[in-house]
Structure formats: C-alpha cells, structure tokens
C-alpha cells in the first residue's frame, strides 16, 4: 500500500513557518505581506478557490486585499485596475483568478501583471527566467509539487518522470523544472498528453508519474508499474447520489487501484491543491522581501 503524500499536512507545516517569519518581520517594524486577489464573475469554483486563498492569508498573518468584478466588466477597465495594483506599493503580489469571461483575453491579462507581483508565476517573463535558471516566481502548482518532493525526500535525480498534460500552468513548467539540474531535478522527463498515441506505453515506464489533464480516472492500475510515485493534479466532479451534494471530487488517477501498486501517491483532495495555495504564500513572502528584482 502506498504512502500518502499529504499535501494538507505539509502545507500546514509551511504555513506555520511563514507565520513565524511574518511575525518576525512585523516585530522588526517591516510591513505585513499583502496578497491581492481579483475575481471576475460568479463562477462557484473560482469563488471557492479565492476564498481558500483569502483564508490562507489570514492564517499566516498576511493582509488580504480582494477585488470583485461583475461578469460584464470591460477588458479596458480590468487592465486599469491591474495597473493600479502594479503601482500600489502596499500590494506585494496579486493573482487574477482564472477562468475569465470569453470577452477578456487571458494572455493580455496575465502579461499585464508586474512580473515581481506575479505570484502565480504565469507571466511570460517569469516563465522565461524559470527556463533560464534565473530567479523568479515559479508557477504555483509545479512549485508546490517540488516542495512536496523535498519534504518527503523523494529522489528525482536520474529517475524517469512521465508528465501527462502539457498545459502552460502545470505540465510544461513541471517538465522543465524536473529536467533541470536542481534538487528536485536532474530527471529524464517524457512530456505526454491526452492525445498521445498509446499513452499507457509511456506511463508504464514512469518512476514518477504526474498527471494533470482534467479527465477523471484517466490513469488505471494497468497503466503504471509497481513502486511508481504518483502525483495527481486533477480535480474533477463526478456524480455520486450517495453524497448530500450529489457529487464527489476525484482526480485523474483511479486512486483505489493505483494506490495498491504505488510507493507514494497524492490523495484528491488534500494532495496537490493545498500545496498550490501555500506556494502562492511562499511567492508573496518572497515578493514582500524583494527577493527578486
């Protein structure tokens, strides 16, 4: 039976460390870190994610600034509000919660964020600096996975990592980071996705399998080898009439069966999700300390 990679437990440890550091900063007369969130529209999942981030800020002693806009906000008006955050010295970092309404161009919004305040790590300059081994804010989810590996002392050097999912948010940066000469890093990485022909032939070779596709139960037990380390980034709602809500949250991996073959595996929920949020806090703390210029 696999050892659970307890993202919730690890994130709680990191939040305690951040809280202690913030208290020391304030005691020295320094300002509290301030993380701003922008939410456009009434997407229930987006509201939940933002509320989790606001709660996490309070837990570690950050100031949390929230801007809420209606679904029909113009792109021009949103950009002006972002420009104000870029120039506000009280704001150390901010995020624009995705997805955005169709009339707003996501890439234009992401690239309007001042790179030093881009604590999600999505700006193309941060992505380029990451790829060039230069100091930057790493994308939150990949950074959270790397921290999970560090805390569990999971060796990646020389291992074969198979990444399923090639998004700019998770798959692509994750593959770059694990291939680089860092700790974790120095891995041999295969980048695949849901359109890869004979996907199982690749996933069966994985020493470490990371899955981020948004396809519930994509990875079955016969698609992995004994002893594999599995990181499931997926968060999917599936119908479940036995639940009061009428649904349950599952990942991209068939957990019950794959767990029997894996050496380590992340649960869904309480695996990668909490590590993503704590990564935002880590990046915000770095921004407040002016770690990168």
Cα 25 to Cα 83: distance, rounded to the nearest angstrom: 27
| Residues paired with 239 in a beta bridge | 247
3-state secondary structure at position 141: helix
- Quick: pLDDT tens for 20-30: 999 999 999 99
The neighbour count for residue 50, using CB atoms within 10 Å, is 19
Confidence (pLDDT) at 72: 96
3-state secondary structure at position 93: strand
Return the beta strands (E) in 13-159 as ranges.
34-40, 63-69, 93-96
Find the angle CA(37)-CA(39)-CA(41) to the nearest 5 degrees. Answer: 175
The yes-or-no verdict on residue 124 having pLDDT over 70 is yes
Cα 141 to Cα 134: distance, rounded to the nearest angstrom: 19
pTM: 0.95
Q: How confident is the model at residue 195 (pLDDT cuts 50, 70, 90)?
A: very high
Confidence (pLDDT) at 290: 86
Concatenate the DSSP letters of all residues of 186-213 into one string.
--EEEEE-TT-TTHHHHHTT-SEEEE-S
Confidence (pLDDT) at 245: 82
The yes-or-no verdict on residue 176 having pLDDT over 80 is yes
Find the angle CA(110)-CA(187)-CA(225) to the nearest 5 degrees. Answer: 105
Among 39-53, 193-207, 245-259, top mean pLDDT goes to 193-207
Confidence (pLDDT) at 293: 59
The yes-or-no verdict on residue 292 having pLDDT over 80 is no
Q: Mean pLDDT of all residues in the chain?
A: 96
Annotated catalytic residues are 53, 97, 120
Q: How confident is the model at residue 152 (pLDDT cuts 50, 70, 90)?
A: very high
> What sign has the CA pseudo-torsion 6, 234, 115, 112?
negative
Q: What percentage of the chain carries pLDDT values higher than 70?
A: 99
Q: Which long-range contacts (CB under 8 A, 24 or more apart) does 67-76 make?
A: 67/36, 67/37, 67/38, 67/39, 68/39, 69/38, 69/39, 69/40, 69/41, 70/40, 70/41, 71/40, 71/41, 71/42, 71/101, 72/101, 73/40, 73/101, 73/104, 75/103, 75/104, 75/105, 75/108, 75/109
Q: How confident is the model at residue 1 (pLDDT cuts 50, 70, 90)?
A: confident
The yes-or-no verdict on residue 255 having pLDDT over 80 is yes
Return the beta strands (E) in 216-289 as ranges.
229-232, 236-239, 247-250, 264-265
Domains and CATH numbers, the chain: 25-116 (3.40.50.10860), 140-272 (3.40.50.720)
| Residues paired with 64 in a beta bridge | 35
Cα 35 to Cα 31: distance, rounded to the nearest angstrom: 12
Q: Are strands 247-250 and 236-239 parallel, antiparallel or unpaired?
A: antiparallel
- Quick: pLDDT tens for 59-110: 999 999 999 999 999 999 999 999 999 999 999 999 999 999 999 999 999 9
Q: Are strands 63-69 and 264-265 parallel, antiparallel or unpaired?
A: unpaired
- Quick: pLDDT tens for 203-246: 999 999 999 999 999 999 999 999 999 999 999 988 888 888 88
């Amino acid at each position: 039976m696999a050892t659970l990679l307890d993202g919730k437990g690890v994130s709680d440890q990191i939040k305690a460390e951040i809280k202690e550091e913030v208290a020391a900063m304030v005691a020295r007369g320094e300002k509290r870190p301030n993380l701003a969130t922008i939410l456009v529209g009434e997407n229930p999942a987006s509201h939940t994610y933002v509320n989790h981030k606001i709660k996490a800020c309070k837990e570690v002693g950050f100031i949390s600034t929230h801007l809420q806009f209606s679904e029909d906000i113009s792109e021009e008006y949103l950009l002006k509000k972002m420009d104000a955050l870029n120039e506000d010295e009280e704001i150390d970092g901010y995020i624009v919660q995705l997805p955005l309404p169709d009339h707003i161009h996501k890439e234009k919004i992401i690239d309007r964020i001042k790179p030093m305040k881009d604590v999600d790590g999505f700006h193309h300059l941060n992505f380029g600096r990451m790829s060039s081994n230069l100091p930057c804010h790493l994308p939150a989810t990949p950074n959270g996975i790397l921290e999970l590996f560090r805390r569990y002392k999971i060796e990646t050097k020389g291992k074969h990592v198979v990444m399923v999912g090639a998004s700019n948010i998770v798959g692509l940066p994750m593959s770059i980071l694990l291939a680089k000469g860092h700790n974790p890093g120095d891995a041999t990485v295969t980048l695949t996705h849901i359109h890869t022909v004979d996907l199982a032939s690749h996933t069966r070779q994985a020493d470490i399998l990371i899955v981020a596709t948004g396809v519930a139960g994509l990875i079955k037990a016969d698609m992995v080898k004994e002893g594999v380390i599995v990181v499931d980034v997926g968060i999917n709602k599936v119908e479940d009439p036995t639940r009061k809500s009428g649904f349950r949250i599952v990942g991209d991996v068939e957990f019950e069966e794959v767990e029997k073959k894996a050496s380590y595996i992340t649960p869904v929920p309480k695996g990668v999700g909490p590590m993503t949020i704590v990564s935002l806090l880590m990046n915000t703390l770095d921004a407040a300390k002016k770690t990168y210029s």
